[in-house]
Amino acid sequence: MKKIQALALAAFVLAAIPGAADAALVRLVQAGNQMPSGGWCDANGQSLAANSSRSYQLQGRIDGAGYSSINGKIRMKTQTDKFEWAAGSEPAVTFTEYASSPNTFSIKAKAGAPAGTHTIDFVAVDANNGESEVKSCKITVTGGGTPPDLKITFTAPVTNADVPASQSVTFTLKLENIGQTAMPSGVTIALRRFDHTGTGMSTEIGSPQTVSALAGGGSNNISFTEATRPGPTGTASVTYLYKVLITPSSYTDVNPSNHLATRSVRYVAAQAGATFATLKETFQHARCTTCHGFSAASSTKPGHSTSGCTGCHSSAAVGVSNWHAPAASFDLRGKTDAQLCAMAKTAPAGKTVAQHLKNDELIKWAISDGRVPNGTTLQKAPPANLTTWNQRVDAWIAGGMLCQ
Ligand code: HEC
Ligand code: HEC
C-alpha cells in the first residue's frame, strides 16, 4: 500500500516539472457550464442561430507549480467546419495558477452549420504549443440546414485558351446561387494563378471581390483582369491553372456540392519570324486578288456580270455556297505590306481574325479547292495546303499579329 502511494507521488512530481517536454503546462478546467451529463456550453440551454455568435465560458489554468503565468491559447479541435472563433483567429489567453483570462469567448456558428446539437472539443495550448486533454461542450444550432449553394463557372476565357503573345486575359466568372437559401452579402471571391512548376505558390489576380447578397436561384457576374502577363519569357509556351477561392471557406467545407471553378490558360510564346511576311504571298496571289479586285475593276473578267454569281459558281460546281464579290474597298491589289497586314487583321463582324482566315469558305476555296464553273481547276493559292495555312495563321496571331 505504501509503495503504491510513493510511486503515484513520483509520477505526479515528474509530470509537474516545468518544461517537461511531453506534458502541457496548462489545462482546460471548464468548457461551458459543465453539466454533469457532459458539457452543455450554455447554462440557459439557449441555441445559437447559424451565422451568428455568442460568448461561452472556457476556463483554463496552469497545470502544476513553478509559474506565475503562461501565455497560450484556447483551441477548437473539432467541428471547425461548423464553428469558428468570432474574432477570426484562436484567442490568446493568459493562464495563471487559478484561472485564465479572458475566459469567455465569442464562438460563431458558420452560415452553413446544419441545425442540431454539435459537440465541440476544446484544448488549452501552452507557449510551446503543447495541448491539454480535451474538454467538450455541446451547442445547439438552429436555422442552418440548407446552406446557400454557390456554383461558380468561368464564362471566359474558354478552357485551354491560347493567349497570344503580348496579350493578357480578363476572366469572367458567373456566380449562381443554385440553393434555396439566400447567400448573405460579404462572401469574397478571389482568383489565383498557380505556378506551373508545381511549387504550390500562387499569385492573386487583381484583388478579391466582395459580392453582394444573392437570393436562391440568383446569379451575378464578376471579372478579374490579369494586369501583367505572366510569361513566358523564353520561346516555349506555358500553361497556368487559375483557381477560384471563396471566403468564408464554409462554402467549400460544409457544402460538398459547391463547385470551385478552375481554368487553364496557355500563354503562347512570341515566335521569331511569325510576321505577316508568312501570309503576304497568299494575299497577293491571283486566287485572292481576282475576287478582291472584281468590283473595283469588273473588266478583270470580261463577260462576267457583277451580280448573280451563284448561278454559275454554284456550290455544286465550286464547293462554296456563298460565292460573291467583295466591295471595291476590299481591293487587295496594289497595296503595301502594311495595308495588306491591316486588312488581314480585320474580320467580318462577329468573327475573330482566326475564324475568318481559317474557316471562311472563300479563303479555303482559294487555298485548297480552286474549282470554277467551266469544269477546270485553277492553280491554288500558296501555301496551297490548308494545314500549312492554318499553322501560319495561328503562329501569326499567337505572335501578336506583327506586320513586320
Ligand atoms: C455566266 C456564268 C458566270 C457568272 C454569272 C459568274 N462567273 Fe465567275 N467564272 C465563270 C467561269 C466559266 C469561270 C472560269 C473561266 C474564267 O476564269 O474566266 C469563272 C471564273 C471566276 C473567277 C476565277 C478567276 C481567277 O483567276 O481566280 C472569279 C474570281 C470569278 N469567276 C468571280 C465571279 C464573281 C464574283 C461573280 C459574280 C459577281 C461571277 N464570277 C459570276 C462563270 C461565271
Ligand atoms: C469568291 C470571291 C473571294 C475570294 C476568292 C476571296 N475572297 Fe476575301 N472576301 C470576299 C468577300 C465577298 C469579302 C467581303 C466580306 C464578305 O462578304 O464575306 C471578303 C473579305 C475578305 C477580307 C476582309 C474581311 C473584313 O471584313 O475586313 C480579307 C482580309 C479577305 N477577304 C482575304 C482573302 C484572301 C487572303 C483570299 C485568298 C486566300 C480571299 N479573301 C479570297 C470574297 C472573296
| Residues in the chain where the model's pLDDT stays below 70 | 1-22, 34-38, 144-147, 165-166, 179-180, 196-200, 232-235, 250, 252-258, 270-273, 297-307
Q: Does residue 96 belong to any structural domain of this protein?
A: yes
Given a contact cutoff of 8 angstroms between Cβ atoms, the answer to whether 246 and 258 are in contact is yes
Given a contact cutoff of 8 angstroms between Cβ atoms, the answer to whether 163 and 266 are in contact is yes
Tell me how far the alpha carbon of residue 347 lies from the centroid of ligand 2, in angstroms. Answer: 9
pLDDT tens digits, one per residue of 147-158: 677 889 999 988
d(CA 257, CA 393): 42
Residues with CB under 6 A from ligand 2: 282-283, 287-288, 291-292, 323-326, 330, 343-344, 346-348, 362-363, 365-367, 381
Q: Does residue 309 belong to any structural domain of this protein?
A: yes
Instruction: Among 93, 109, 142, identify where a domain stops.
Output: 142
Tell me how far the alpha carbon of residue 304 lies from the centroid of ligand 1, in angstroms. Answer: 6
Residues 255 and 284 in one domain: no
Instruction: Among 94, 117, 142, identify where a domain stops.
Output: 142
The pLDDT value recorded for residue 343 is 94
The pLDDT value recorded for residue 35 is 63
Residues 13 and 133 in one domain: yes
Residues 169 and 262 in one domain: yes
Pocket test for ligand 1, best of 289, 300, 313, 379 (most atoms within 8 A of CB): 313
Residues 62 and 84 in one domain: yes
> Which atom of ligand 1 is least distant from the CA of 323?
35
Residues 259 and 323 in one domain: no
Atom 21, ligand 1: residue with shortest CA distance: 372
d(CA 49, CA 289): 75
Q: Does residue 317 belong to any structural domain of this protein?
A: yes
Q: Which ligand is nearest to the CA of 304?
A: 1
> Which atom of ligand 2 is least distant from the CA of 327?
14
What the block records as the C-alpha cell of 229 is 502577363
Q: What are phi and psi of 298, to 5 degrees?
A: -65, -15
Tell me how far the alpha carbon of residue 361 lies from the centroid of ligand 2, in angstroms. Answer: 9
Exposed/middle/buried for residue 352 (C-beta within 10 Å: 0-12, 13-18, 19+): exposed
Instruction: Among 207, 234, 267, identify where a domain stops.
Output: 267
What domain range is 200 assigned to?
150-267
Q: Does residue 32 belong to any structural domain of this protein?
A: yes
The pLDDT value recorded for residue 303 is 57
Residues 345 and 247 in one domain: no
Q: Does residue 72 belong to any structural domain of this protein?
A: yes
Atom 27, ligand 1: residue with shortest CA distance: 287
Residues 98 and 79 in one domain: yes
Residues 339 and 374 in one domain: yes
Tell me how far the alpha carbon of residue 176 lies from the centroid of ligand 1, in angstroms. Answer: 54
- Provide the number of structural domains found in the chain: 3
Residues 118 and 161 in one domain: no
The pLDDT value recorded for residue 187 is 87
